Structure 1
């Protein structure tokens, strides 16, 4: 997967009109479209895409630590928001997009720095105007649960320009 190096690499409104959300996410996974820079900055990348399900893999490194040496809660939140919302994106029709309305994170145990993880987002509802998804972060090697989450996203038609 390649990462966007500038705003010019990100999708514009016309790109979004031509593809369903699933096609858009598959294009990022295949490298046809650049992925968002947040993944590079935070140490995670898109790993799998299917209808209603998205998986990211990653590793929190030193720059994600809080002052006490633990992985910052914002890292869990960013990763789960990405996985859950991108799962909702796979259900968005051509000519529409989504935005996160709210999300919740439950950290179940401390995640040591440099631990490889898998974050999965799964859609539980996708309607005309809202999508709801759940997510979890697990250790890639041992399957230990580190965090869970839930989100509600607004699904909206792209504006006419």
Structure 2
């Protein structure tokens, strides 16, 4: 695996034709292998793509001080962004060539506070994909101890170009 990089300007992102010329699985593997730039949000939120399989995606990372709320705890938006990413990207692995997706809705449940600097793995797994929707669940767990920090679910809209 080569080093992943994150887009820093719009021209770093794949164009629409490039995106639609490959399956969602190939697209996600391209990011994992460093052939396609990762989204800027992943660099900002300090996580990166770790594994890609059909119907399953894992990210790894650790929140830093910039992800804290005014009380010093990890902001709920960090959990939400990470779970939205892993669950929706799991759906993306099931999207056929010539189609794309967007998140329609997602829900998260934070089960415990995540200490700043704790390395986590966020896993998204598809439970259904059809012609127009995909459904996935996700978890955030500590890498070292397996503790559950949050769960989520999503519904994504799948569209033909």
Q: Scaled by the length of structure 1, what TM-score is found?
A: 0.97
Partner SS state of residue 148, structure 1? strand
Aligned match of 2:68: 65
Higher mean alpha-carbon deviation, 8-17 vs 40-49, is at 8-17
User: Could you tell me which residue of structure 1 aligns to residue 131 of structure 2?
Assistant: 128
SS in 1 for 2:158: strand
Output the CA distance in 2 between the equivalents of 1:4 and 1:16: 15
Between the two proteins, the alignment pairs up a number of residues equal to 158
How much does 1:126 deviate? Answer: 0.5
Distance across 1 between alignment mates of 2:15 and 2:156: 20
Task: Provide the secondary structure at the position in 2 that maps to 1:113.
Answer: coil
Partner secondary structure for residue 42 of structure 2: helix
User: Which secondary structure state, in structure 1, belongs to the residue aligned with residue 149 of structure 2?
Assistant: strand
Query: How big is the shift at 1:4?
Result: 1.0
How far apart in 2 are the matches of 1:114 and 1:79? 15
Find the counterpart in structure 2 of residue 43 from structure 1: 46
Between the aligned partners of 2:143 and 2:50, the Cα distance in structure 1 is 12
Report the 3-state secondary structure (helix = DSSP H, G, I; strand = E; otherwise coil) of the residue aligned with 1:84.
helix
Matched, 1:55 2:58: yes
- In the alignment, the residues of structure 2 paired with residue 155 and residue 89 of structure 1 have an alpha-carbon distance, to the nearest angstrom, of 9
Look up the SS of the partner of 1:124 in the other structure: strand
The separation in 1 between residues aligned to 2:20 and 2:141, in whole angstroms, is: 34
Q: Which runs of 5+ in 2 are unaligned?
A: none
**Residue in structure 2 matching 1:97, options 73, 96, 100:** 100
Runs of at least 4 residues of structure 1 off by over 4 A?
A: none
State the TM-score, normalizing by the size of structure 2. 0.97
RMSD over aligned CA atoms reads 0.5
1:107 corresponds to 2:107: no
SS of residue matched to 1:118: strand
